């Protein structure tokens, strides 16, 4: 070979290497997996015999299709908005028959409304996908993807994925405080109960890591006592319910501490704490500053604060969902979800510990 053909060979090799580097990133955004409760369920419960469901009007009234999907929102929920941020299609519910073939590579949503850290949380909803089962489905998912792209590619897809875990609120609302003198409240004083559920949560996260998770956003609970459902039951003048606020104040710092410990043991920032409490409190304490007319009255519901019972066809329904912080007695509106996700993406260490999602994306794109 003369010099010029060697030069051309090198040029071609260089070009191939460049294309080789670019192509895998261009062909697919990172996969996204979602675990947890109604704050992040996007339709799994539609396929189950349960009372915890959001598959009828007016749920979904502002969703692109204007149909109820199973999301506990007037429109998009937090996972949808995170998918948007990472440049991905929204994940399908794991139980959806449409989740097959190439669509599996986008990720999956395993969340199920009503569940908690504990197996006895949400028993009144009968047939829901408890967290141990969600993790079992994640394992099954990986077997299905392996059959499609092979075990090594599957491992890589899972290791490089972004994961969202939202758990814990129901262990108070739909367990400890569900009825006066509940079994768990007779068994544990509140501080001991929190220590117990944090220790159980830790096991769940260790298992998730064992299944290949390497980047997991873990949301703490919101201000549980400030949701319209609790105001309706406990509030005289709109003040947040004391006991549930006490629960959140105990749970959230211990969660952050547990995540920090896990990261130290793993020698890597696998678990990222999202301070959902402060993210909510911003607009709950000053709704007008965020363009809301109220943060106390739900858009859809009945009774005081529209906080009694479920959001149904028979409920009061506000005409403009964008000016309500709460869509139903428990769940934020799409606009409030957008404020939450904005903090997840760009928030300071007050909101995201040890770093926000834009930092994670920048870091992970370098490996
Ligand atoms: C919850 O149920 C799962 C599966 O049935 C089981 O593996 C796990 O140990 C249970 N957790 C507790 C705290 O009992
Ligand atoms: C969060 O994201 C923004 C970029 O949008 C960045 O400037 C900021 O430093 C980040 N904060 C932290 C604490 O990571």
Residue 115 has pLDDT above 70, yes or no: yes
Structural domain count of the chain:
1
- Whether residue 344 contacts residue 273, with contact meaning beta carbons closer than 8 Å, is answered with no
State the pLDDT at residue 367: 65
Residues 236-289: tens digit of each pLDDT = 999 999 999 999 999 999 999 999 999 999 999 999 999 999 999 999 999 999
Residue 180 within a domain? yes
Rounded to the nearest angstrom, the distance between the alpha carbon of 352 and the centre of ligand 2 is: 9
- Binning pLDDT at 50, 70 and 90, where does residue 155 land? very high
For atom 6 of ligand 1, which residue has the closest CA?
132
Active site residue 280: no
Q: 280-324, pLDDT tens digit by residue?
A: 999 999 999 999 999 999 999 999 999 999 999 999 999 999 999
Whichever domain contains 45, its CATH number is 3.40.50
Residue 290 domain flag? no
| Mean pLDDT estimate for the chain | 93
How close is the Cα of 167 to the center of ligand 1, in Å? Answer: 15
Of 119, 128, 137, 206, best ligand 1 pocket probe by most atoms within 8 Å of the beta carbon: 119
Classify residue 338: in a domain, yes or no.
Answer: no
In a domain, 23, yes or no: no
- How many angstroms does the Cα of residue 298 sit away from the middle of ligand 2? 32
The verdict on whether 331 is a catalytic residue reads yes
Q: Residue 271: CB partners within 8 Å, gap ≥ 6?
A: 205, 216, 218, 259, 262, 263
From the CA of 119, give the closest atom in ligand 1.
1
Q: Are 325 and 284 in contact (CB under 8 A)?
A: yes
Selecting among 38, 112, 315, 333, the annotated active-site residue is 38
Ligand 2 centre distance from Cα of residue 343 (Å): 10
Measured CA angle at 99 (ends 102, 150), to 5 deg: 45
Q: How far is the CA of 331 from the centre of ligand 1 (A)?
A: 27
Q: Which residue's CA is the nearest one to ligand 1's atom 8?
A: 132
What integer pLDDT is reported at residue 28 of this predicted model?
Answer: 64
350 lines ligand 2 (CB under 6 A): no
The question of whether 209 is a catalytic residue gets the answer: no
Task: Give 159-197 pLDDT, tens digit per residue.
Answer: 999 999 999 999 999 999 999 999 999 999 999 999 999
Domain range for 178: 29-225+242-275+349-365
Residue 337 CB–ligand 2 contact under 6 Å: no
Q: Which residues contact 78 (CB under 8 A, 6 or more apart)?
A: 39, 40, 164, 166, 337, 340, 341, 344
**pLDDT at res. 89:** 95
How far the first Cα of the chain sits from its last, in Å, is 37
Q: Which of 1-5, 90-94, 95-99, 308-312 has the lowest mean pLDDT?
A: 1-5
Is residue 40 one of the residues assigned to a domain? yes
Helix (H) or strand (E) holding 300, with range, is strand 300-301
Is residue 306, in this structure, part of any structural domain at all?
no
**Which of 116, 132, 167, 203 to mutate to test ligand 1, by most ligand atoms within 8 A of the CB atom?**
132
> How many angstroms separate the CA atoms of 280 and 118, rounded?
24
On whether residue 304 sits in a domain, the answer given is no
Nearest CA residue ID for atom 3, ligand 1: 132
CA-closest residue to ligand 2 atom 2: 346
Is residue 337 in some structural domain? no
Q: In the chain, which residue ranges form alpha helices assigned H by DSSP?
A: 3-27, 78-85, 131-149, 151-159, 169-171, 183-187, 190-210, 228-234, 242-266, 276-285, 334-346, 357-365
């Amino acid at each position: 070979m003369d010099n010029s053909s060697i030069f051309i060979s090198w040029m071609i090799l260089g070009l191939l290497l460049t294309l080789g580097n670019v192509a895998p990133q261009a062909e697919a955004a990172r996969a996204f997996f979602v675990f947890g409760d109604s704050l992040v369920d996007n339709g799994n419960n539609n396929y189950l015999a349960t009372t915890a469901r959001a598959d009828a009007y007016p749920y979904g009234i502002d969703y692109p299709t204007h149909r109820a999907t199973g999301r506990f929102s007037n429109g998009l929920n937090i996972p949808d908005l995170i998918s948007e941020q990472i440049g991905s299609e929204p994940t399908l519910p794991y139980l959806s028959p449409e989740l097959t073939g190439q669509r599996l590579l986008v990720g999956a949503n395993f969340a199920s409304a009503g569940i908690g850290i504990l197996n006895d949380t949400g028993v009144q909803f009968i047939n829901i996908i408890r967290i141990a089962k969600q993790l079992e489905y994640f394992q099954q998912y990986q077997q299905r993807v392996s059959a499609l792209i092979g075990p090594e590619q599957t491992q890589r897809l899972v290791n490089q994925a972004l994961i969202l875990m939202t758990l814990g609120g129901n262990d108070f609302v739909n367990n400890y405080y569900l009825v006066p003198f509940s079994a768990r409240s007779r068994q544990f004083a509140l501080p001991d109960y929190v220590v117990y559920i944090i220790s159980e949560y830790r096991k769940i996260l260790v298992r998730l890591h064992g299944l290949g998770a390497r980047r997991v956003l873990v949301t703490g609970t919101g201000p549980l006592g400030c949701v319209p459902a609790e105001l309706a039951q406990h509030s005289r003048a709109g003040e947040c319910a004391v006991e549930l606020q006490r629960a959140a104040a105990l749970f959230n710092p211990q969660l952050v501490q547990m995540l920090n410990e896990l990261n130290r043991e793993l020698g890597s920032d696998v678990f990222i704490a999202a301070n959902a409490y402060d993210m909510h409190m911003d607009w709950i304490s000053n709704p007008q500053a965020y363009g809301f007319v109220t943060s106390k009255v739900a858009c859809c519901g009945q009774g005081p604060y529209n906080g009694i019972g479920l959001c149904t066809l028979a409920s009061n329904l506000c005409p403009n969902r964008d000016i309500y912080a709460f869509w139903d007695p428990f769940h934020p509106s799409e606009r409030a979800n957008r404020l939450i996700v904005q903090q997840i993406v760009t928030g300071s260490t007050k909101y995201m510990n040890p770093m926000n999602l834009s930092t994670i994306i920048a870091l992970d794109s370098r490996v």
